Amino acid sequence: MEKQVPEIFESEYLLMHLIWDEGSVRMRDLTAIALSVHGWQRTTVYTMIKRLSERGVVDFTDSVVTPLFTKEQVQLAKAREFVDYYFDGKVSALLEAFADRKKIRKDDAARIREIMKHYAK
């Protein structure tokens, strides 16, 4: 059974993108990247890493930050949370809400059909 992805807040998610882009990264390099990309100070980055580490999202050992979940694992968990919370767990309700506001391109519709055929139970 796959480990459940802990809560990751928005600014932490932005920081995780920097970590995923780098793979394992030294903290001094991460703070420099975060400053140039987001304008975050070193103390802000350290605080976020400490919290992510405490929740088991990253490993922070010997000044190296390593993600413990892939970007895809986090995206899937967030997508499931979103559908569960806003659409009572019904993907069809999400698609209806999206399609009601915007035309779906033919290639997107074809891809959705392919996905549904593959995953339909």
Q: Which helix (H) or strand (E) holds 67?
A: strand 64-67
Question: What was the pLDDT predicted at 105?
Answer: 83
Is residue 114 included in any domain, yes or no?
yes
pLDDT digits (tens, 9 = 90+) for 49-107: 999 999 999 999 999 999 999 999 999 999 999 999 999 998 888 888 877 767 778 89
The residue with greater pLDDT, 120 or 35, is: 35
Structural domain including 107 reads 72-119
Please tell me whether residues 17 and 64 are part of one structural domain. Answer: yes
Question: What was the pLDDT predicted at 120?
Answer: 78
Please tell me whether residues 63 and 76 are part of one structural domain. Answer: no
Question: What was the pLDDT predicted at 50?
Answer: 98
Task: Give the Cα separation of 40 and 110 in Å (integer).
Answer: 42
- The DSSP secondary-structure symbol of 63 reads T
Is residue 90 included in any domain, yes or no?
yes
Please tell me whether residues 15 and 35 are part of one structural domain. Answer: yes
Task: Give the Cα separation of 87 and 95 in Å (integer).
Answer: 10
Please tell me whether residues 15 and 64 are part of one structural domain. Answer: yes
**Structural domain tally of the chain?**
2
Note the Cα 95 to chain centre separation in Å.
Answer: 21
Integer angstrom CA distances of residue 91 from 8, 78, 112, 115:
22, 14, 11, 12
Is residue 4 included in any domain, yes or no?
no
pTM of the model: 0.80
Is residue 5 included in any domain, yes or no?
no
The residue with greater pLDDT, 93 or 29, is: 29
Q: What is the CATH number of the domain that holds 33?
A: 1.10.10.10
